[in-house]
Amino acid sequence: MTDPAADPVAADLRPLVLPAAEDAHAWVEARARDGLATAEALVTGLRDDPPTGELAAMATLRAWDEVSRALSGVAAPVSLLANVHPDEAVRTACEAAEAEVDRYATALLQDRRLHDVLAALAPADLDDVAARLLAKTLEDFRRAGVDLGDDPRRRLAEIDDRLTVLGQDFGRHIRDDVRTVRVPSERLAGLPQDWLDAHPTDEDGLVTVTTDYPDSVPTRMFAHDAGVRRDLTVAFLERGWPENEPLLQEMFALRQELAGLVGYEDWPSYDAAVKMIGRGPAIPEFIDRITALAEEPMRRDLELLLERFRRDVPDAGAITTADSLYYEELVRRERHDVDAQQVRTYFDFSKVRQGLLDVTGRLLGLRYVPVPDAPVWHEDVAAYDVLDARADDRRIGRIYLDLHPREGKYKHAAQFSLADGLAGRQLAEGALVCNFSRGLMEHDHVVTLFHEFGHLVHHVLAGRGEWTRFSGVATEWDFVEAPSQMLEEWAWDAEVLRSFATDAAGVPIPADLVERMRAADDFGKGYQARTQMFYAAMSYWFHRDRPGDLTAAMRDLQERYSPFRYIEGTHMFAGFGHLSGYSSAYYTYMWSLVIAKDLFSAFDPADLFDADVAGRYRDRVLAPGGSRDAAELVTDFLGRPYAFDAYAAWLAR
Ligand SMILES: [Zn+2]
């Protein structure tokens, strides 16, 4: 193609060209070096020779935004590759680059001269979004301790540095701690045939079952043998222990110290100040509000679960997570006539992937065009250009789907940014990193795929603003899950599923089966909400109180909030990765679910693709990124402030 303008896909902004696997190491190092040098040159200019004259305020902010862009241009690709690259040396180099950018960014926010240049700008000379950027930037400086004396500032930098390392070590311990249980194949009765076929016995006549999700979820859900379920559950709960316990203690102590240095009472207050929830103490209030709303639905469903459990274990007084998935599945099958193994025959991975693209494309006015020759980090990865069907198929982003497990890869499901999109300057790019099986999928995993893809389209659609700071999924952290949680609804709609969920013979999933699946899914949501509140309470109170004995503290909170009894001798907190990333804010999953249910109430259940509603949603909630407060985006879309009613009604259903 000689004339890029003649090709609508190639026109306009160029995507990032990723390195071939063997060039990755050098690429990462060069990218980090160049990105940091660009940032440093811009910063020197701002410090020593800031723009003057009539348009100085805007010019200064633009230069500051270029610094952000240079830094995210390093941080985004290296944090992705640190989690997905097959070569361990590349992952390690990425972690080092990530830490370096983090250190540099922290130092910038503590740079008094740079701060003074920005603080001298008159907001009156700026438009609303630019004034917002200035206010947020100055708040960043204050939270980083720019007002403090030299010693506390140095200490803050030290803390931040150490927290980065702790977070990486903590995550790596979980990622690398793949535990296994080896059992004779006859003890795996109940597991789906295709799973058994993929897990042959070794020369000792044993099958190895790992704690990775594609093994652990079906085993805990389907294995009839209670001992196998228990062994695997215990192995799963022990990931990261004991080495992560002292890391967590240090992390909590450093976060507390950091919050204190910049004038907050505790870490949760510091963290909540830049979120929708606003105040630290509002977190336990929210947790208790949800706990109360979930009380009745929890009791109702837990009683059914125990009743079924007691048919096998007559004197059982309580149930643990070693049995909860298995009996939940049994109750669902027996009461709602939903057989997960039958359900999964309709969810062939490749059809699901195409269905996801078709459904989200239709809903949001997008088209995805495969880019088979784009360099990728592993042969499993598929690249697509994202075109705006509402604007002459103009390319607005590029996405990468890396959806199957492999050794050394991130173990969960998440969206990673690869490039922050900026109008006229940079194409939005991102990747989905998941661990789905290659054949038939559980419906749960289909829902997860829709969820994660929600983050990816949010990242792309919010990638055409003016400022790096507000590009992509840049809203308050306790709001970012809402659009994804809402998109899950499309993976539960019978009409939508008919379009891609077909069995081997091509027969679409029957509507009455989907209806029963939904009824079955409703089962347990009360106690699931309580489980979430147990995790949220752990995330809040561990940071607020920093208990000396984490196991005892976890146990207390489990008794207070969780429907499931503690399994003696386990240390689940050590593998609870969100303690690092979400810190005291695990409540955010539930907070944004409350808002997701409210957002979804604007759609007509009889026509989920209504172009008016979907268009408004795309324009008012997704496209603005972080350029307005999330509460305003929601109000703008709903025509009123968000409320708890839709969530409460769903929970009580
Ligand atoms: Zn999410």
Span 198-215, pLDDT tens digits: 999 999 999 999 999 889
Q: Do residues 501 and 351 touch, judged by C-beta distance below 8 A?
A: yes
How many beta carbons lie within 10 A of that of residue 120, not counting itself? 11
DSSP-derived secondary structure for 443-471: HHHHHHHHHHHHHHHHHHHT-SSS-GGGS
Q: Is 142 exposed, middle or buried (0-12, 13-18, 19+ CB in 10 A)?
A: middle
Extract the tokens encoding 56: 């100085």
- Taking the C-alpha atoms of residue 415 and residue 403, their distance in angstroms, rounded to an integer, is 11
What b/e readout covers 74-113, taking b as 16+ CB neighbours within 10 angstroms? Answer: bbbbbbbbbbbbbeeebbebbbbbbbbbbebbbbbbbbee
How far apart are the CA of 582 and the centre of ligand 1, in A?
Answer: 12
pLDDT above 70 (res 14)? yes
Mean pLDDT over residues 236-255, rounded?
98
- Taking the C-alpha atoms of residue 213 and residue 179, their distance in angstroms, rounded to an integer, is 12
- Taking the C-alpha atoms of residue 197 and residue 176, their distance in angstroms, rounded to an integer, is 26
pLDDT at 6 (0 to 100): 43
- Taking the C-alpha atoms of residue 335 and residue 176, their distance in angstroms, rounded to an integer, is 39
- Taking the C-alpha atoms of residue 231 and residue 182, their distance in angstroms, rounded to an integer, is 10
How far apart are the CA of 549 and the centre of ligand 1, in A?
Answer: 30
pLDDT at 10 (0 to 100): 43
How far apart are the CA of 574 and the centre of ligand 1, in A?
Answer: 21
**Residues in a beta bridge with 496:** none
How far apart are the CA of 455 and the centre of ligand 1, in A?
Answer: 7
How far apart are the CA of 91 and the centre of ligand 1, in A?
Answer: 23
515-519 contacts, C-beta under 8 A, 24 or more apart: 516/336, 516/337, 516/338, 517/336, 517/338, 517/343, 517/443, 517/492, 518/492, 519/336
The percentage of residues in the chain with a pLDDT greater than 90, rounded to a whole number, is 91
The percentage of residues in the chain with a pLDDT greater than 70, rounded to a whole number, is 98
Extract the tokens encoding 643: 């409320």
pLDDT at 301 (0 to 100): 94
How far apart are the CA of 165 and the centre of ligand 1, in A?
Answer: 24
Q: Please, which pLDDT band fits residue 5 given cuts at 50, 70 and 90? A: very low
Q: How far is CA 118 from CA 47, 75, 106, 140, 434, in A?
A: 10, 23, 16, 12, 41
How far apart are the CA of 361 and the centre of ligand 1, in A?
Answer: 19
Cis omega (within 30 of 0) on the bond before 563?
no
- Taking the C-alpha atoms of residue 317 and residue 128, their distance in angstroms, rounded to an integer, is 60
pLDDT at 653 (0 to 100): 86
- Taking the C-alpha atoms of residue 254 and residue 268, their distance in angstroms, rounded to an integer, is 13
How far apart are the CA of 594 and the centre of ligand 1, in A?
Answer: 14
Q: Do residues 563 and 531 touch, judged by C-beta distance below 8 A?
A: yes
Q: How far is CA 526 from the centre of its chain?
A: 23
Q: Do residues 355 and 499 touch, judged by C-beta distance below 8 A?
A: yes
How far apart are the CA of 113 and the centre of ligand 1, in A?
Answer: 38
How far apart are the CA of 445 and the centre of ligand 1, in A?
Answer: 13
How far apart are the CA of 488 and the centre of ligand 1, in A?
Answer: 10
Extract the tokens encoding 638: 């709903």
How far apart are the CA of 555 and the centre of ligand 1, in A?
Answer: 27
pLDDT digit string (tens) for 110-155? 999 999 999 999 999 999 999 999 999 999 999 989 999 999 988 9
How far apart are the CA of 589 and the centre of ligand 1, in A?
Answer: 8
How far apart are the CA of 595 and the centre of ligand 1, in A?
Answer: 14
pLDDT at 4 (0 to 100): 41
How far apart are the CA of 355 and the centre of ligand 1, in A?
Answer: 20
Question: Hey, is 391 helix, strand or coil?
Answer: coil
pLDDT digit string (tens) for 181-191? 999 999 999 99
Question: Hey, is 570 helix, strand or coil?
Answer: coil
How far apart are the CA of 484 and the centre of ligand 1, in A?
Answer: 6
How far apart are the CA of 296 and the centre of ligand 1, in A?
Answer: 27
Average pLDDT, the chain: 95
pLDDT at 411 (0 to 100): 86
pLDDT digit string (tens) for 389-446? 999 999 999 999 999 999 999 988 999 999 999 999 999 999 999 999 999 999 999 9
How far apart are the CA of 236 and the centre of ligand 1, in A?
Answer: 22
The model's pTM: 0.87
How far apart are the CA of 210 and the centre of ligand 1, in A?
Answer: 24
Q: How far is CA 653 from the centre of its chain?
A: 27
How far apart are the CA of 200 and the centre of ligand 1, in A?
Answer: 34
- Taking the C-alpha atoms of residue 355 and residue 515, their distance in angstroms, rounded to an integer, is 20
Q: Please, which pLDDT band fits residue 531 given cuts at 50, 70 and 90? A: very high
pLDDT above 50 (res 3)? no
Extract the tokens encoding 368: 């995805």
How far apart are the CA of 452 and the centre of ligand 1, in A?
Answer: 6
Extract the tokens encoding 522: 């409703």
In which residue are the tokens 């240049």 written? 117
Extract the tokens encoding 353: 């992937």
Q: Please, which pLDDT band fits residue 539 given cuts at 50, 70 and 90? A: very high
How far apart are the CA of 366 and the centre of ligand 1, in A?
Answer: 21
Q: Do residues 400 and 418 touch, judged by C-beta distance below 8 A?
A: yes
pLDDT at 12 (0 to 100): 74
How far apart are the CA of 414 and the centre of ligand 1, in A?
Answer: 7
How far apart are the CA of 485 and the centre of ligand 1, in A?
Answer: 7
pLDDT above 80 (res 316)? yes
Which residues fall within 8 angstroms of residue 608, CB to CB, at 6 or more apart? 363, 489, 490, 493, 495, 496
How far apart are the CA of 584 and the centre of ligand 1, in A?
Answer: 17
How far apart are the CA of 216 and the centre of ligand 1, in A?
Answer: 21
3-state helix, strand, coil in the chain (%, to 5): 60, 10, 30
